[in-house]
Amino acid sequence: MKPLTVNFRSKAALTLADAQIQQSIEHVYTGFFKGRLTAAGDTPDWEDLRTKGKAIKDHTIAHLDYYLGLLTDNVEKNGGSVFFADDAEEARQHIIDLAHKRKIKTVIKSKSMVSEEMGLAEAMTDEGFETVETDLGEYIIQLANETPYHLIAPAVHKSRADVAKLLDDDYKDGDRVPDATELTMMARKKLRCVFERADMSVTGVNFAVAESGSIALVTNEGNGRMSTTVPRVHVAVMGMEKIVPSIQDLSTMLRILIRSATGQRISTYVTMVNGKRKPDEEEGPEEFHLVIMNNGRQKLLEDAQMRESLNCIRCGACLNACPVYRKVGGHAYGWVYPGPIGAIVTPVLTGLKDAGNLPSASSLCGACHDACPVKINIPKMLLELRYRTAEGSTAKEERTSSAKERGIWKAWRMGMMGRKRFDIGSRIASIALKPLSRNGWLKKAPPPLSGWTSTRDFPAISASSLKSILKKRSGGSK
Amino acid sequence: MPENTTATLRPDRVTLFASCMVDQLAPNVGESTVEVLEYLGVSVDFLNDQTCCGQPAFNSGFRSEAYPVAERFIDLFEKVKGPIVVPSGSCAAMVRNYYGDLFRDNKELADRAKRVGERLFELTEFVSRFFGTDAISGKRVGAATYHKCCHLLREIGVDEQPVEMLTNIEGLEYSPLERADVCCGFGGAFSVKMPDISSAILDEKLDFIEANGSSTVVAADTGCVYQMQGGLRRRGSDVQVVHIAQVLAESIRNSSTSEAKR
Amino acid sequence: MADRAKFIAGVTAGLGRTEVLSPISITETAGFEDAATAKANADKASTDASERSIELADQMAEEAAKAGWKVHRASNAEDAASYIARICVEKKATSVLRSNHDALDQIGVDAAITNTGATLDTTEHSGDYSQDQIEKSKSKAFSAEIGITGVDYAIAETGTVVLHPRSGLSRLVSLAPPTHIAVLRPGEVLDSLDELFAMERNDFMSGELAGSMNLISGPSKTADIEGTTVTGIHGPLEVHLVILAG
């Protein structure tokens, strides 16, 4: 998927003005966010589980080379094939070539963000394969020709009327809007025929178990199960970091993933696949292919400050907790991963130069850090990326701050390096702003504060500093 | 944070760090902080040379500018003994949780910063930890609610203690604010750099404040106070947003008995 | 194309090393417990399952109901079979598919079903591995109105039925038909996910890991449209759990 991060501000502005989307995004808080809180509250050892989950991921990433080798050995032992893709184009081309080789007609896709990095569905359609997204949310946005709005709920921004227009050929504006059940049954009917004729599936991977060569899929709909059952060829795609060492680790990881994603104790279906179908099975794929993709994760790995982002298990909890995501929506982030996790990985994976706005689009409230099941310190990484955009600390070309901005902070520093100038500067500002203020407030402030007063009154600067006030008060100053 | 109200461990002298915003924009918050501490029997010193902890530049990524200002802060405050109290969760968080990262290439300075951080407290944290949330009894009539400033909540770990302090005030009708722990949208320079997003987040907060119906909103960080008050004023609302130091100081002044607790 | 050695060498370099290091297992993660430990954990889980079978069955009933299973506590085999027959009648089922689980033989479900007039088929493997036979099996499952299975395990913590598809138990019998009925016997309920994965790990260490595993916790559902939960998107719209008495 081509990054459009450079459009962050304008896309955000469009979403802020869209009352219907603002209403739709509320579900992310009232449903998922609240759900996670309740589920966490009902789980007596929740904090221990988070600690354990973080330990599993830290350990896995620290030994990623070893576990990649182990996973590959075991997938091959089970009769599967492993393809290593340096980047999204390589991965995509491999899957397309495979589909041609196997004379595939119909491809079904189960939810996979990694496949979005590849732009896979679109590419396969262009190659002449009937390619159908089977996760209801993904199906809806496929019909709408859009990209996912959220990691877990790709069509969260769509209203029922939007969905009706996409699913029901007869629906016109002004008709009674079908309810969610009616729309869901329409989709069930349409997709059921597709399942029956599909000859290849592409699924994601929630966790790949290194010691057994297994993959685990977490779903609620049943499309994950269909995808690992009906077609002759099953291709699973994963980012290289989605590994856990042992089968036993799934117990911890499933608990924290599912509760954090939707607030459920467990998803309706958890499917563990240990390769292609066994010789004595009635159905199941003849072939199992695992595509392990790098696509820039190397950069995160090498980057000591950013490496922790590879611990992400893609639950979406940070999105649900983020006051910024809940206002600007998923598309503003311009690439596959929205929200706080997107704000830290997208700049590294697609280039900080165009994505510099993403780490700045945050009040640093820390809600994402609180919400993360594996305790990823997202605020710390946002600050790190801000350092790079401001001063080009890691690479000169990453600096995108203007000379004006750098000048402002230089002046700020000079003003803070001595008490006298701190006081004088403040008194000058106080006097300068006085004509603009009434009753201690300004309706219009000069730049760089004019952004503030576009929507809020700004406080006047005090005529006296605390230092002088306390001096007048008896005792107390040194 | 565990409360420790053993009389023998109660400090009787602290140094006040105002924070640049309180110092120059809202000195009455600083005055109120001194009043509250003196009421508790704590004498307060003020370092005249203080300016800023460096957070604004650090949060904007300009670490080369933040560094000397932060180093100056450490130079100044390591010279005093005893606890340092600041009426701001975000400044306390900067010193305690982020100076380590800012000084990551200078181990010696980072260690010095750590030692200062160990005795630096946000105001409500200081009061509840050493004196208890029931240490201040006073009177302030009116309906009030409380917004949980993000850094105080998540970086310092102060959650319900200020609420307990408010409910201890005679005449104060407290009701909890819905989504009290959701950000007000301030975020420092973010509020000016991306004012449309900051204001959209603020609008939601103000809707909940108006729905709550209290005439006063209490918060513990001046930036948040101004974000919310500025927005309410723009809406033509009469709701007052007041720093908790001021509320506590007012309640002490109004109270019929104003003896300091020992 | 990226070859394995080069890809992994890149990761090693990214980690700041020149060679792959075998990890020292750390106690905070499950680590790689040896075969003896794995067996001990699995035995503990099995023992627990049988010693507390009544308590766990009760907990399972409660959690399964919360998860959206329609739960029926059967007083005996006959009661179980007639409950299943009642569902066939209610659904006006003409074609029913069942797995080869012992539990279903035990309750003598076949007669009860065929007496309703429905055709009953089993997911018995014909020994024919041709693509043609596979397509036939698929169609059978897609056209059946009701799918019936036993369980391989159940998990009380979450109200989950665990199935290991294999010869005599297809993947689709519990997925394609719009109604799925699972018959649970006492002693089959494990306490939590920990116990399940202990059993799975032990199977793996003894070289007997099943080809695949499905954890099923209620009817298929989605909340993708306006956050409204709707049951029955691709999997069964209705799931029944018949719990046999001890």
Q: Judge whether B209 lies within some domain.
A: yes
CATH number for the domain that contains residue C75: 3.40.50.10420
Quick one: pLDDT band at residue A279, thresholds 50, 70, 90? confident
Q: Which residues of chain C from 167 to 196 reach within 8 Å of chain A, CB to CB?
A: 167, 170-172, 175, 192-194, 196
Nearest to A249, CA basis, from A115, A67, A65:
A67
Number of CB pairs, chain A paired with chain B, less than 8 A apart: 202
In Å, how far is A334's CA from the nearest CA of chain B?
Answer: 16
Q: Do B233 and A386 touch (CB under 8 A)?
A: no
Residues B220 and B197 in one domain: yes
Best mutation target among B88, B198, B205 (most A Cβ atoms within 10 Å) is: B198
Read off the pLDDT of each residue in A309-327 and give the average, rounded to a whole number.
98
What does the pLDDT average to over A354-370?
A: 97
Domain ranges (residues) in chain A: 41-297, 403-472
Choosing from B63, B94, B128, the residue where a domain stops is: B128
CATH code, B50: 3.40.50
Question: Can you list the alpha helix ranges (DSSP code H) found in A127-214?
Answer: 136-144, 160-167, 180-197
CB-based contact A271:A222 (threshold 8 Å): no
**B91/chain A closest Cα distance in angstroms:** 13
Q: Residues 96..115 of C with a Cβ closer than 8 Å to A: which?
A: none
**If you average pLDDT over residues B185-191, what whole number do you get?**
97
Q: Do A268 and C227 touch (CB under 8 A)?
A: no
Q: How far is B123 from A399, CA to CA, in rounded Å?
A: 38
Q: What percent of chain B has pLDDT above 90?
A: 93
pLDDT the model gives residue A447:
85
pLDDT score, position A247: 94
Question: What does the buried/exposed string (b/e) look like for A266-287 if buried means 16 or more CB atoms within 10 Å of the residue's CB?
Answer: bbbbbbbbbbbbbeebbbbbeb
Q: For residue B38, tell me if it sits in a domain.
A: yes
**Chains B and C in direct contact, meaning 3 or more beta-carbon pairs closer than 8 angstroms:** no
Q: How many domains are contained in chain B?
A: 2
Considering the domain architecture, whether residues B140 and B250 belong to the same structural domain is answered as yes
| Spatial separation of the C-alpha atoms in residues A285 and A156, rounded to whole Å | 32
* Inter-chain residue contact A469 with B50, CB threshold 8 Å: no
Residue C26: the pLDDT is 47
Per-residue pLDDT of B44-70, as tens digits, reads 999 999 999 999 999 999 999 999 999
CA distance C81 to C85: 6
Q: pLDDT band for B170, please (50, 70, 90 cuts).
A: very high
Q: Is the pLDDT of residue A192 over 50?
A: yes
Closest chain B residue to the Cα of A391, Cα to Cα? B62
- Secondary structure element (H or E) that encloses residue C87, with its range: helix C77-90
- A213 — pLDDT class (breaks 50, 70, 90): very high
Q: Does A431 touch chain B (CB under 8 A)?
A: no
Q: How far is CA B253 from CA B31, B132, B164, in A?
A: 13, 19, 19
* Residue among C191, C91, C106, C196 at smallest CA distance from C152: C196
Torsional sign, CA A302, A306, A310, A314: negative
CATH topology classification for A41-297: Rossmann fold (3.40.50)
Three-state DSSP at B46 gives strand
Between CA B82 and CA B11 the distance in angstroms is 8
Q: Is residue B3 assigned to a domain?
A: no
Subunit contact C1:A83, Cβ cutoff 8 A: yes
pLDDT, mean of residues B177-203: 97
Write down the pLDDT at residue C29: 53
The pLDDT of residue A280 is 82
Establish if A30 touches chain B: CB-CB under 8 angstroms.
no
pLDDT range class, residue C27, cuts 50, 70, 90: very low
A contacts of B196 (beta carbons < 8 Å): 12-13, 16, 455
Query: Could you give the CA distance from residue C218 to residue C229 in angstroms, rounded to a whole number?
Result: 13
Same domain, B171 and B113: no
pLDDT > 70: percent of chain C? 96
What ipTM is given for this predicted complex? 0.95
Average pLDDT, chain B: 95
With an 8 Å Cβ cutoff, is A29 touching chain C?
no
pLDDT class for A37, splitting at 50, 70, 90?
very high
Structural domain harbouring B92: 11-128
Residue B5, pLDDT above cutoff 70? no
Q: Which of residues 146-165 of C touch A (CB under 8 A)?
A: 157-158, 160, 165
Tell me the per-residue pLDDT of B205-227, one tens digit each, with 9 for 90 and over: 999 999 999 999 999 999 999 99
Q: Does A20 touch chain C (CB under 8 A)?
A: no
Domain that holds residue C47: 4-244
Q: How confident is the model at residue A476 (pLDDT cuts 50, 70, 90)?
A: very low
pLDDT per position as a tens digit, A219-276: 999 999 999 999 999 999 999 999 999 999 999 999 999 999 999 999 999 999 999 9
Determine A/B contact with 3+ CB pairs under 8 A as the test.
yes
Which pLDDT belongs to residue C167?
86
DSSP state of B152: I
A23 touches chain B (CB under 8 A): no
What percentage of chain A has pLDDT greater than the value 90?
A: 94
Ranges A265-274, B177-186, C165-174: which has the least confidence:
C165-174
Percentage of the residues of chain A whose pLDDT score is greater than 70: 99
Chains in touch with A (3+ beta-carbon pairs under 8 Å) read B, C
Q: What is the DSSP string of C173-235?
A: GGTSSSEEEEEE-TT-EESSHHHHHHHHHHHHHTT---SEEEEE-SS-EE-TTTT--EE-SSS
pLDDT at C28 over 60: no
CA nearest to A459, candidates C141, C202, B142, B21:
B21
According to the model, what pLDDT value does residue B58 have?
98
Q: Is A79 on the interface with C (CB under 8 A)?
A: no
Q: Rounded to a whole number, what is the distance in Å from the CA of C126 to chain A's nearest CA?
A: 8
Among the partner residues A63, A246, A273, nearest to C212 by beta-carbon distance: A273
- For residues B62 and B89, state if they share a domain: yes
Lowest mean pLDDT among A170-174, A420-424, B24-28: A170-174
Using one digit for the tens of pLDDT, what is the confidence trace for A455-473? 999 999 999 999 999 998 8
What's the rounded mean pLDDT across residues B159-171?
97
The whole-chain average pLDDT of chain A stands at 95
pLDDT score, position A282: 78
Of A433, A429, A421, A464, the closest CA to residue B31 belongs to: A464
User: Residue C22: what pLDDT?
Assistant: 81
Are B117 and B186 in a shared domain?
no
Q: Are residues B160 and B115 in the same domain?
A: no
pLDDT tens-digit map of A426-447: 999 999 999 999 999 999 998 8
Closest-CA residue of B relative to A460 is B25
Residues of C within 8 A of A38 (CB-CB) are none
Residues B139 and B112 grouped into a single domain: no
pLDDT of A477 above 60: no
Q: Is residue B1 part of a domain?
A: no
Single-letter amino acid, residue C8: I
Domains in chain C, number: 1
| Contact state of A137 with C170 under an 8 Å Cβ cutoff | no
- Residue A238 CA, chain-centre distance (Å), reads 15
- For chain C, say whether A240 makes contact (Cβ under 8 Å): yes
Residue A290: its H or E element = strand A287-293
Tell me the shortest Cα–Cα distance from C74 to chain A, in angstroms: 24
Find chain A residues with C-beta within 8 A of B230's C-beta.
441, 452, 456-459
| Mutate which: A365, A409, A453, A468, vs B, most B CBs within 10 A | A365
Residue C10 confidence (pLDDT): 95
Contact assignment for A68 to C235 by CB distance below 8 Å: no
Q: Is the Cβ of A183 closer than 8 Å to some Cβ of chain C?
A: yes
Which residues from B are below 8 Å from A426, CB to CB?
A: 23-24
Does the distance separating the beta carbons of C175 and A225 come in below 8 Å? yes
pLDDT (0 to 100) of residue C68: 97
Q: Tell me if chain B has a CB within 8 Å of the CB of A439.
A: no
Contact flag C224-A154 (C-beta cutoff 8 Å): yes
C65 in A contact zone (CB under 8 Å): no
Chain B residues with beta carbon closer than 8 angstroms to that of A383? 58-59, 61, 98, 101
C136 pLDDT above the threshold of 90: no
Residues B113-136: pLDDT tens digits?
999 999 999 999 999 999 999 999
Q: Of A285-289, B148-152, B256-260, C200-204, where does mean pLDDT reach its minimum?
A: B256-260
Do B98 and B176 lie in one domain? The reply is: no
Q: Enumerate the residues of chain B whose CB falls inside 8 A of the CB of residue A386.
A: 59-61
The model's confidence at residue A475, banded by pLDDT at 50, 70 and 90, is low
Count CA atoms within 13 Å of residue C220 on its CB side. Answer: 26
pLDDT value of position A478: 43
pTM of the model: 0.95
A364 touches chain B (CB under 8 A): yes
